[in-house]
């Protein structure tokens, strides 16, 4: 059997080398991700710790047009955020009358619905948000209010 020319290499050994290199690079990345993953709200001693306060709360309010209930939900949300998250929140209002396809992404089944995107985990509250205590519990805002 002839040896390949100096500028040409056999395709089979090169393919095996590439696969080994790629596999070798993937394994350390996976191990590093496992080492750095930690449970939220649990300290190293295993006791529950208060979750860290995020820099910005991302809130999305799904409404159906400018109905009285939708307007009430928005004003209640705005007031609640100003009292407890002053300057640390983003509210996105999604009108499902204009963009009905957006309801599927957050699995919206009733309106108005508030979805807390950040901090994770995602939380949902349905209604006009007039019961402040239930809204605060529903989006875990009561932890911030106690501090």
Q: How confident is the model at residue 45, as a pLDDT?
A: 40
What CATH number has the domain bearing residue 91? Answer: 3.40.30.10
Q: Domain total for the chain? A: 1
Q: Whose CA is closest to 108, among 64, 57, 65, 52?
A: 64
CA-based torsion, 87, 89, 90, 96: positive or negative: negative
What is the Cβ-side half-sphere exposure of residue 42, based on CA atoms within 13 angstroms?
A: 7
| Residue predicted with more confidence, 53 or 122 | 122
Q: Is 126 inside any structural domain?
A: yes
| Residue predicted with more confidence, 127 or 27 | 127
| Residue 63 contacts residue 94 (beta carbons within 8 Å) | yes
Share of the chain above pLDDT 70, in %: 60
Q: Is 41 inside any structural domain?
A: no
Residues of the domain holding 76: 57-146
Q: Is 17 inside any structural domain?
A: no
Pick from 33-37, 54-58, 104-108 the range whose average pLDDT is largest.
104-108
Pick from 27-31, 46-50, 84-88, 89-93 the range whose average pLDDT is largest.
89-93
Q: Is 98 inside any structural domain?
A: yes
Q: Quote the strand ranges of the chain, DSSP E.
A: 57-63, 89-95, 113-118, 123-126
Q: Is 43 inside any structural domain?
A: no
Q: How confident is the model at residue 34, as a pLDDT?
A: 32
pTM of the predicted model, to two decimals?
0.63
């Amino acid at each position: 059997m002839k040896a390949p020319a100096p500028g040409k290499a056999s395709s089979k050994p090169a393919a095996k080398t590439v696969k080994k290199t790629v596999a070798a690079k993937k394994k350390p990345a996976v191990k590093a991700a496992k080492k750095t993953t930690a449970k939220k709200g649990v300290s190293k001693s295993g006791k529950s710790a208060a979750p860290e306060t995020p820099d910005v709360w991302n809130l999305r309010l799904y409404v159906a047009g400018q109905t009285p209930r939708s307007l009430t939900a928005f004003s209640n949300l705005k007031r609640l955020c100003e009292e407890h998250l002053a300057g640390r929140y983003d509210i996105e209002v999604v009108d499902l009358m204009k963009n009905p396809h957006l309801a599927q992404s957050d699995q919206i089944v009733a309106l108005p619905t508030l979805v807390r995107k950040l901090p994770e985990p995602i939380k949902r509250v349905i209604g006009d948000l007039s019961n402040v205590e239930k809204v605060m519990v529903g989006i875990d805002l009561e932890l911030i209010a106690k501090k």
